[in-house]
Structure 1
Amino acid sequence: MVDLDELRREIVLAVSQSKSPREFLRDRRLRELYDQIKSLPPVERGSFGKQINELKQAVEQAIAVRLEELEKVDLKPIDVTAPMDVNSPKPELLPSEQGTIHPLSAEIERISEIFNRMGFVTEESREIDDQFHMFESLNFPKGHPARDDYDTFMTEETDSNGDRLIAPAHTSTMQNRVLMKYRDNLEKGEAIAAIVPDRVFRNEDLDARHEHTFYQVEGVYVSRRVNVGNLIATLQEFLQEYYGKKLDVRVNPFYFPFTEPSFEFALSCPFCEGKNPDCKVCSGEGWIELLGCGMIHPNVLRAAQIDPNEYTGFAFGCGIDRLVMMKYGIEDVRHFESGKLDFLEQF
């Protein structure tokens, strides 16, 4: 086990001497610590996750101090139109190299951190996938009319079955792989608990609330005697931690082929708390429909060779762009993919 105090001193020292301190937010060692959580006994995960969080907070504080120091340095003017002298032993650092972390990247890290402390591991999705993982493993048999709702982009290239490959329309394409990868956890008396935050693609008409490329976070939890109450409590705890305030939640019946029962999950508006009829976020209704969720369909468990008579689980999918828009009051989802510096520099 890593000595967290020693690691903290090492990273903080490196930050204090760095000209690019923000890069330590993506330090590989921090991510590896979160990966260690899943190997610990359940009773130790909460305490270890809290220690990791305290370590990261110390690193963030050191970064803030170092950035303030760098801002006070009297830098000589730089002609940004002149080429950099790459032969110089100490070439000047051009302003273009002083970048910032994209708001979606920063929030994905934050989302992963919260779920990691709750005992979930983070997996990556893929940008081209086959129709088995996109549809059939999720209880969408060939010819199922619900396939039409996903407006998927398809390639000319086909898989070994002759089916065209697709750009995933949801991170649920990873659900079967996650269940298969961690299936042995169940035999050891441990749960399958994972999230998949990544990019997805849909053939959408673009407007302030719709984009053809956006991000989703998929969540999967499977164990013995898992119920809807566990699902609601997990999502409520995550959202309260993410928005930093107490929230009421509600669920309404819905339909998804891969969950049964299925729900639309809504939370009380974190901005007006239902008290402002002119609120632009919730349109004065006090509630925001946020994500889809439900209990994993027995056919989905069977596709991963898990006995639905012995194990149950829940799954959810949430648009990350929408979470971030609500958090910062962003009015147009297209800003995220626009490359506009006047928007990105706010973060």
Structure 2
Amino acid sequence: MSDLSPLDAAGIEAAVSAATKAFDAATTLDELKEARLAHTGDKGALTLANRGIGALAGPDKATAGQLLGKARASIGKALAARTDALEAERDARVLAEESVDVTLPVTRGPVGARHPLETMQELMEDIFVGMGWEVAEGPEIEAEWFNFDALNFDPDHPARAMQDTFFVEPREGDEPSVVLRTHTSPVQARAALERRDALLTEGRGIYVICPGKTFRTDELDATHTPVFHQIEGLAIDKGLTLAHLKGTLEHLAKAMFGPDAEMRFRPSYFPFTEPSLEPDLRCFVCGGSDTECRTCRGTGWIEWGGCGMTHPNVLRAAGIDPEVYTAFAFGMGIERTLMFRHGVKDMRDMVEGDVRFSAQFGVEL
């Protein structure tokens, strides 16, 4: 067929017949592709014959063009028909072989879990948002003034020492430095400054909670970690008292630990509150009945955090007159709250990254 003349009507018809038979003999789309290339490709008989038209005289060119045009049309029609048939067979086979019964039960593989500290923080945020409080955020790398000075820490307070605080920039003499915040209280100072004008001119009280990550130079053990999470609250308004503070924390305790949660307050000391208190929760392990309980050391109570009436110097640092406005503040660790709520014994389990630890808590509602 390679020497087929463009004027050989019988040879052209035979080439068309051969191509049609080859197409019909193909049982798969790959076989059909091979047949198409063999009969219509660059080395196909009709392709080579078509190239010879240029050497013919004028009248013969027209004759040859008509013969080869009809031949290519016939081959194209046969190829399209066989392609449609084979594609229909393939689609039917795929539907039969790859069908899925969507009514059958499936086993889903584990896809991980949200960390319980994150869901715990969101739960505590929701409780306060439900009481009309705002959620405030601030930088984790903080100016020393916001972290200490604005909160009534003396220049020589032990908490400023290197053994307690991560200094990002070394202190030079009395110049303030930059630190990794040791608590989320700097966010309270920033929130008071940002909302001061609305408080003074519109009488709009300041009620904010400040959740976030904090840093201290603690060794990692069962009850301590150098990177931990806190949630703190600040309320500034006219006429606030310790009764408001107590009611707020008791509401939080019952929302977190159930309606039977029992709380007490002990006198304490913090530079930024006066008077200062520490809220304790009834031991979640022994309920106060075991004098040898290792969790509460036989006292029946576990410290939850710190709180108190905001020190007048803290209000003055934010430009708020403590003779007109009163405030209370509180703070507790989210890790410790998680331990109380779910009975987690070792804080190291929270930071090791084992998804099995996170998966057991599900989704907080």
User: Quick check: 116-125 or 215-224, which moved more?
Assistant: 116-125
Shift, 1:241, TM fit: 0.8
Matched with 1:7 is none
What is the Cα deviation at residue 303 of structure 1? 0.6
For 1:24-35, what aligned pairs fall within 5 Å after superposition? none
Deviations 1:141-171 (A, max 9, x none): 4233453497010113789x95331111100
Q: Is the 8 A contact 2:169 2:179 kept in 1?
A: no
**Is 1:192 aligned to residue 225 of structure 2?**
no
1:138-153 pair list within 5 angstroms: 138-148=151-161, 151-153=164-166
C-alpha distance 271-74 of structure 1, shift in aligned 2 (>3 A): closer
Cα deviation, residue 114, structure 1: 0.6
Partner AA of 1:190 in structure 2: R
8 Å Cα contact 2:284-2:343 kept in structure 1: no
1:247 to 252, 261, 281: 261
Cα deviation, residue 236, structure 1: 0.8
Distance in 2, matches of 1:328 and 1:282, equals: 16
Report the CA distance between 1:186 and its aligned residue: 2.3
TM-score normalised by length of structure 2: 0.65
Alignment of 1:74-113 (within 5 A): 98-113=111-126
1:89 is matched with none
Work out whether residues 213 and 230 of structure 2, in 8 Å CA contact, stay in contact via their aligned partners in 1: yes
**Partner residue, 1:73:** 106
Partners of 1:146 and 1:301 lie apart in 2 by 21
The whole-number CA distance in structure 1 between the counterparts of 2:335 and 2:274 is 26
Helix, strand or coil for the counterpart of 1:133? helix
**2:352 maps to 1:333:** no
SS at match of 1:153: coil
Q: Name which of 136, 144, 160 aligns with 2:149.
A: 136
Secondary structure of the 1:247 match is coil
RMSD (Å), alpha carbons: 2.6
- Say whether residues 1:304 and 2:337 are aligned partners: no
Aligned residues: 258
Q: Trace 1:150-165 onto structure 2 (pairs within 5 A).
A: 151-156=164-169, 163-165=176-178
Match of 1:267 in 2: 281
SS of the residue 1:236 aligns to: helix
- 8 Å CA contact 1:243, 1:270 repeated in 2: no
Contact 2:188 / 2:208 at 8 angstroms: preserved in 1?
A: no
Distance 1:283 1:143 in 2: 33
Paired letter, 1:171:
T
C-alpha spacing 1:129/1:146, structure 2 compared with 1 (3 Å): closer
Q: Structure 2 unaligned runs (5+)?
A: 1-101
CA distance in 2, matches of 1:70, 1:281: 50
How far apart in 1 are the matches of 2:203 and 2:169?
44
Match of 2:236 in 1: 222
Deviations 1:230-265 (A, max 9, x none): 111110111111112223322222111111111111
> What amino acid is aligned across from residue 227 of structure 1 in structure 2?
T
> Is 1:315 paired with 2:348?
no
Q: How has the CA–CA distance of structure 1 residues 233 and 71 changed in structure 2, closer, same or farther, with 3 Å as cutoff?
A: farther
- Aligned partner of 1:235 in structure 2 is 249
Alpha-carbon separation, structure 1, partners of 2:137 and 2:314: 20
SS, match of residue 155 in structure 1: coil
1:295–1:315 contact (8 Å) kept in structure 2:
yes
Identity among equivalent pairs (%) = 41
- How far apart, in 1, do the equivalents of 2:115 and 2:249 lie? 25
| Partner in structure 2 of residue 295 of structure 1 | 309
Question: Aligned partners of 1:334 and 1:217: how far apart in 2?
Answer: 20
Counterpart-to-counterpart distance in 1, 2:159 and 2:218: 17
Residue type at the aligned position of 1:114: I
Q: For 1:154, what is the secondary structure of its paired residue? A: coil
Deviation string, structure 1 residues 265-284 (Cα, Å, up to 9, x no partner): 11223454323445454344
Structure 2 CA distance for aligned equivalents of residues 70 and 185 of structure 1 = 59
Offset, 1:119: 1.5
- 1:256 aligned partner, one-letter code: F
Question: What is the aligned counterpart of 2:133 among 120, 124, 148?
Answer: 120
Given the superposition, is the C-alpha separation of residues 162 and 296 from structure 1 closer, same or farther in structure 2, using an over 3 Å criterion? same
Specify which of 207, 216, 219 is matched with residue 221 of structure 2.
Answer: 207
8 A Cα contact 2:159 2:165, kept in partner: no
Q: Any conservation in 1 of the 2:305–2:333 contact (CA below 8 Å)?
A: yes
1:288 alignment partner, SS class: strand
